[in-house]
Amino acid sequence: MNRCFSCARLFAMISKEFVQIRRDPPTFGMMVGIPLIQLLLFGFAINSDPKHLPTAVRDADAGPVGRAVIAAMQASQYFRVSLIPDGEAAVEDAFAHGDAQFVVTVPADFSRRVLRGEHPALLVEADATDPAATANALSALDRLAAAAAARELAGPFAGLKQGEAPFEMRVHRRYNPEGETTFNIVPGLMGVVLTMTMVIMTCLAVTRERERGTMETLLAMPLSPFEVMLGKILPYVAIGYLQVVFIMAAAKLIFAVPMMGSLTLLSAVTVVFISANLAVGYTFSTVAANQLQAVQMGFFFFLPSIMLSGFMFPFRGMPEWAQVIGEALPLTHFLRIVRGILLKGSGWEAIAPDLAAIAAFLFVAGFIAVRRYRMTLD
Amino acid sequence: MTAAIAVTGLTKRFGGRAVVDSIDLSVEEGRIMGFLGPNGSGKTTTIRMLCGLLRVDAGEGTCLGLDIRRDAAAIKRQAGYMTQRFSLYEDMTVAENLDFAARVHGVPDRKARVAEAVERMGLAARRNQLAGHLSGGWKQRLALAASILHKPRLLLLDEPTAGVDPQARRDFWDRIHGFAAEGMTVLVSTHYMDEAERCHAIAYIAYGRLLAHGTVEEVVAGSGLAAAAVRGGGPGLIERVKALPAVETATAFGAVIHVAGGGGAALAADLSAFCAAEGVDWEPEEPTLEDAFIHLMAGSRDNMAEGAA
Ligand SMILES: Nc1ncnc2c1ncn2[C@@H]1O[C@H](COP(=O)(O)OP(=O)(O)O)[C@@H](O)[C@H]1O
Ligand SMILES: [Mg+2]
């Protein structure tokens, strides 16, 4: 039997952990409950279809086509239209105060140019800080503006309806130029759920043994720190992986998130990411004096993860210092990888740098954890 | 005979205070050594240092021929340790706890050995009960079973019978003698005098210092005490006996007062005069281990007080 590492001892640890997880229904409930609740909250919150969005209209044209479009917007449930005076200052004002989610500008001579068949542009500016809020309204606007114009062009100008649209809708997204869509959130949620549950679960691992007094038995046994760590981490890799399968199924079946890239690749990356989070939690548990402290440390890690990783706010929109912190968090890299694989179909080479960052994080955290684990009670 | 435990100058400090202060201890192989001392005297701390659970601040020695500082991992493989406080997993069943211990120790033919241990300890009916739901006596049996599964050569038992009923204690000690007969060395801490008398040798510590070491007879003889039984007499007699200069302790056992005190002729002289005056009988008795411990305790307390002054 090897002195420092034996599979038999590791399996003993793992099966012991599984027995204990099974005997602890609240914890088990948390592992199933957190992904479920988050998925429903975030998933349906983003899926909800916000109506009556404040919309400011600058009508520099005052012609029939422009008015028809405005009337159609008003009639639809999506927009609550108010007219504002012409001029950039008024637009800036409306956005800055949050008075308007959209500013629609009907340029001068719009109607005349439509009738002449010149395809003028109707300018739509959107406050896209919350892309989920604007996406549906924008696509509705596209449809209803075309329909309104078509009605207006009936009769003598019917010929114009043929072929291309009578005017162009030029959408300009402010604050969030990437125009991230709802699809970004469900894959991101996977990373958030994993960070939360994995760190919290393992940060209790060692403190619980210490608080219940079982550490003395564990230390009196011929187990190496490495075996204890792996034994405590591996069961949760399996559980985390189940969570992933669950979220991915929901993403596909409920939210119809596209899955462009390789799911095998995603699975492999996910295991590394789960392990990194577990290692962080385990490190906390070797440092914390009691379970409460460990959970507090867990939250201390979780908060920046959710705020600065690009899940909550667009990463490029954050100040420099926040980006630096964000780069050091595994969730940041995982979000890029998941979005890359699912939405853009990224392959191995494209995600390699981010994967390397997560792996480095895993290595450092694991190293600290094994070093911190004390073989004695003092 | 070789020594299973041989340590010298063993010292442990917590926050600058020497909780175990330069203890020399040796236990021969196959022997049962009783480890006695008042609460907080450093018994648990000493045992923990012996099996590598606490770092040794000073001193050196061997357990089973292995260096206690360097070979803690090897000692853990060959020693069994039963903690003072129950420290198995309360959310696992009896069988699961034993199975875990057996797997970690790489016990060959594990299933059979666990089944055998369950049978031997009379745990069969409770094998699927959660350890946390067992009563004190059963927890103690389970803990003992877990600590001997891997057939250790050295068994360290820390107050294994605290809070256990007399019948269970007797069974427990029969088992321990069984282990010793198989060649296992046992170090067992206890507060019970009757248990101490069932040990091959005893060590007594107080305030972290080793005060006596040897067989029961040696320890009693070493105390230099004399003892006597005083019979008859009315209420208040015991207070007056205690007031005699040569008397250290006087304890009532029903109508008989057991007296221990200054050796040589001092106690006899004091008692003769006193009993004649009171009109009661007295006769010499063998001093007990308890007399010796109380004497040692009192002496060390005086030493501590002098040291502090
Ligand atoms: N981890 C520790 N930190 C500080 N003091 C301790 C620690 N463990 C034990 N002590 C102190 O050391 C002394 C001896 O304790 P212990 O060895 O448990 O005594 P015993 O087992 O003989 O009752 C006690 O005063 C106790 O408070
Ligand atoms: Mg103790």
Q: Measured from the CA of B15, which atom of ligand 1 is nearest? A: 4
Whether residues B115 and B240 share a domain: the answer is no
pLDDT confidence of residue A307: 87
Distance CA A242, CA B180 (A): 51
Residue B105 has pLDDT above 90, yes or no: yes
What's B51's domain CATH number?
3.40.50.300
The pLDDT of residue B259: 92
Residues B184 and B264 in one domain: no
Reported pTM: 0.79
Record the tokens describing residue A82, joined without a space.
């108010």
Residues in chain A: 378
Ligand 1, atom 3, lies closest to the CA of B14
For residue B128, the model assigns a pLDDT of 95
The single-letter code of the amino acid at A320 is: E
Task: Show the domain range for B114.
Answer: 3-219
Q: Is residue B154 part of a domain?
A: yes
Residues B159 and A288: their CA atoms lie apart, in Å, by: 30
Asked whether residue B243 falls in the same domain as residue B206, the answer is: no
Helix axes A7-22, A225-253, angle to 10 degrees: 50
Residue A122: phi and psi, rounded to 5, are: -100, 120
Residue B297 included in any domain: no
In a domain, B214, yes or no: yes
* ipTM of this complex prediction, to 2 decimal places: 0.86
One domain, residues B138 and B260: no
Which one of A2, A5, A378 would you mutate to disrupt binding with B, by most B Cβ within 10 Å of its Cβ?
A378
Here the CATH number for the domain that contains residue B257 is 3.30.70
Q: Same domain, yes or no, for B149 and B270?
A: no
A168 class by beta-carbon count within 10 Å (0-12 exposed, 13-18 middle, 19+ buried): exposed
B54 plus B167 within the same structural domain: yes
Distance B207 CA to ligand 2 centre (A): 13
Q: Are B92 and A23 in contact (CB under 8 A)?
A: yes
Residue B301 lies in a domain: no
Contact yes or no for A20 and B89 at CB 8 A: yes
User: Phi and psi at residue B36, in whole multiples of 5°?
Assistant: -120, 160
If asked whether residues B145 and B270 sit together in one domain, one would say no
Ion ligand 2 residue ranges (Cβ < 5 Å): B 43-44, 84
Token reading at A316:
């490029």
Domain boundary among B219, B236, B264: B219
Closest residue by CA, ligand 1 atom 27: B40
Q: Are the CB atoms for B195 and B13 separated by under 8 Å?
A: no
Q: Please, what is the average pLDDT of chain B?
A: 91
Same domain membership, residue B153 and residue B23:
yes
The atom number, within ligand 1, closest to the CA of B45 reads: 17
Pairing of strands B58-63, B3-14: antiparallel
Residue B54 has pLDDT above 80, yes or no: yes
Which residues of chain A are under the pLDDT cut of 70?
Answer: 1-3, 43-50, 96-98, 128-133, 154-165, 174-184, 314, 317
Contacts of B52 in chain A (CB under 8 A): 220, 375-376
Taking residues B2-6, what's their average pLDDT? Answer: 91
CA of B40 to the centre of ligand 1 (A): 6
Residue B240, min C-alpha distance to chain A (Å): 48
Q: How far apart are CA A79 and CA A143, in angstroms?
A: 14
Q: Say if B103 falls within a structural domain.
A: yes
Q: Say yes or no: B163 and B56 in one domain.
A: yes
Q: Identify which has the larger pLDDT, B115 or A83.
A: B115
Domain boundary at B169, B195, B219, which?
B219
- Tell whether B20 is covered by a domain: yes
Q: Are residues B168 and B59 in the same domain?
A: yes
Sign of CA dihedral A50, A51, A53, A59: positive
Task: Specify the pairing of strand B281-285 against strand A168-174.
Answer: unpaired
User: Measured between alpha carbons, how far is A332 from A325 in angstroms, rounded to an integer?
Assistant: 10
Whether B42 is covered by a domain: the verdict is yes
| Neighbouring C-beta atoms of residue A307, cutoff 10 Å | 16
pLDDT for res A54:
83
Check CB contact under 8 Å for B51 and A11: no
Angle, helices B136-148 vs B166-181, to 10°: value is 10
Q: What is the dihedral of CA B124, B127, B128, B131, to 10 degrees?
A: 140
Is residue B272 domain-resident? Answer: yes
* B39 alpha carbon, closest ligand: 1
Q: What is the pLDDT of residues B203-255, one digit of tens each?
A: 999 999 999 999 999 999 988 888 999 988 777 888 888 888 889 999 988 88
Domains detected in chain A:
53-174 (3.40.1710.10), 182-377 (no CATH)
Using the Cα atoms of residue B257, residue B260, residue B266 and residue B268 in order, give the sign of their dihedral.
positive
Decide if A24 touches B, using CB distance below 8 A: yes
Q: A with B: how many residue pairs have Cβ under 8 Å apart?
A: 78
Among B14, B39, B50, B190, say which to mutate for ligand 1: greatest number of ligand atoms within 8 Å of CB. B14
From B183, B199, B219, give the residue that closes a domain. B219
Q: Which ligand is nearest to the CA of B158?
A: 2
Please give the residue of chain A at the shortest CA–CA distance from B143.
A217
The pLDDT tens digits for B270-289 are 889 888 888 889 999 999 99
Domains identified in chain B, total number: 2
Residues B33 and B85 in one domain: yes
First vs last Cα of chain B: how many Å apart?
44
Which residue is listed with tokens 């985390």?
A240
Q: Which of A8, A214, A223 sits opposite B87 (nearest CB)?
A: A214
Check whether residue B235 and residue B142 sit in a common domain: no
Restricting to A residues 72-91, those with a Cβ less than 8 Å away from any Cβ of B are none
Amino acid A28 reads F
